[in-house]
Structure 1
């Protein structure tokens, strides 16, 4: 039988790190709570002074379980620059992922670059630093880019979802629907000449397909993201390559295809 003893300081920190990585974001109280008996929160109408109106605040509607995609589309469309879009996303509360994330992970790289890389969602290290692809998979991505003469000054990097899902799970269709208008506007504002998606979920979002990444990777297609039409190619996610090193051969072929396409459109 394992020894029962209080954890020391380092052990407690290790447990907390494990809980965070697993997506635990709330402590359980001593008494059980009947969530089914709880009433949903209510939106309160701001006080508007008028001769015929009461000055009391009153509930006008219950909040939906999720945000409104039409609101997300309207907010995204209102952004005239990437800075405005980042500010709007920072104050947007429609997607529940924001409530569990440490911070917004908007983008990295050169916003004037002709090549845009699109991943799925931030991981734990990205959530801490506020930049995409800065963990182990990001370090591998940097080496992959360097192999064909690129670095983060020559590409623009974003994710389909700008907040880390708890436990690094795949974003739900509802979460994707709320975040997609912001990604679309981000692509419109960057207006890249070439796009490379990283991993299956990003490929399925950008290419509007349910096909698997193994079937689709390495094939160029013309896609329309928002109002921007661009040539795009899917490849494997660096995190997948870390788990499956033999697949690096396929990713290398995709990188070479990107290098050839760059030359064909006058990008070096």
Structure 2
């Protein structure tokens, strides 16, 4: 920087001072009035050109959400059945949701003493938005009616409440895989807590895998177990009975055991 020469300096002295300051690196004249350079908006610095062969910058690591932990938190926050149904419908970490039409939550009377847990919605259930409405569901209604129970009953002593392990239909009606079962197990456990049934019926392999950690329904059926802290009776799924009518004898025995437990 160059200071303006004082008036009492002669030209030769002023030139000598200028040369000295220039050699010291001063190259800008000071103004008579101080300048606050913080008041100026500096021009944006142009980005340096990137060579064509330069490697692409590394992407920031993406941390995948833990679906089981997310389901556990969402289920715990649901204070009633309506909140639980909304939480399950809003749960986006299950790929089945993308290919299903409806979130099939439940059907029947929530005050019922019996809670039936099935596997997953089929085509008819996905369309209707209710569990067990196809041929297997119609057979289930007849089976329950044989021991004086109905999903339409308003009397808790004769009513049934029905849900599934999964609310979304698997493609092609395939069996739910272990990851899908684990993902929705917190919702199912919360569902049981909110309904608080006296007895649970586990219809098929998938609910037995979810609630008991076991498979092999033909071995498990008819033997009382404990699921979610309540008595639970594994039974063959009505769809199996449609394929194997001879198994209806065992199913009838299981229904009689269910009625006896309700009367005890």
TM-score (norm 2): 0.73
SS at match of 1:177: helix
Counterparts of 1:156 and 1:238, CA distance in 2: 16
Note if contact 1:115-1:155 (Cα within 8 Å) is conserved in structure 2.
Answer: yes
Q: Name 1:219's counterpart in structure 2.
A: 223
Alignment of structure 1 residues 10-29 onto 2, 5 Å: none
Structure 1's consecutive aligned runs of 4 or more residues displaced over 6 angstroms after TM superposition are none
SS at match of 1:250: helix
Q: Name 1:143's counterpart in structure 2.
A: 142
Counterparts of 1:61 and 1:184, CA distance in 2: 33
Q: Name 1:167's counterpart in structure 2.
A: 172
Q: Name 2:6's counterpart in structure 1.
A: none
Counterparts of 1:67 and 1:237, CA distance in 2: 31
Alignment of structure 1 residues 75-86 onto 2, 5 Å: 75-86=74-85
Counterparts of 1:61 and 1:78, CA distance in 2: 29
SS at match of 1:133: coil
Instruction: Flag the structure with larger Rg.
Output: 2
Residue of structure 2 aligned with 1:207, choices 201, 209, 212:
212
Q: Name 1:87's counterpart in structure 2.
A: 86
Q: Name 1:245's counterpart in structure 2.
A: 245
Q: Name 2:261's counterpart in structure 1.
A: 261
| Count of paired positions | 200
1:126 Cα deviation after fit: 0.1
Counterparts of 2:116 and 2:85, CA distance in 1: 17
SS at match of 1:62: coil
Q: Name 1:235's counterpart in structure 2.
A: 235
TM-score (norm 1): 0.72
Q: Name 2:203's counterpart in structure 1.
A: 198
Counterparts of 1:240 and 1:146, CA distance in 2: 19
Note if contact 1:86-1:106 (Cα within 8 Å) is conserved in structure 2.
Answer: yes
Residue of structure 2 aligned with 1:178, choices 172, 176, 183:
183
Note if contact 2:136-2:238 (Cα within 8 Å) is conserved in structure 1.
Answer: yes
Q: Does the alignment pair 1:118 with 2:122?
A: no
**Residues 62-114 of structure 1, C-alpha deviation per residue, up to 9 Å, x if partnerless?**
364x8521011000000000000001111110111111100100000001111
In structure 2, stretches of 5+ residues that fail to align are 1-58, 154-158
1:204 Cα deviation after fit: 2.2
1:201 Cα deviation after fit: 1.7
1:209 Cα deviation after fit: 1.7
1:208 Cα deviation after fit: 1.7
Counterparts of 1:60 and 1:136, CA distance in 2: 51
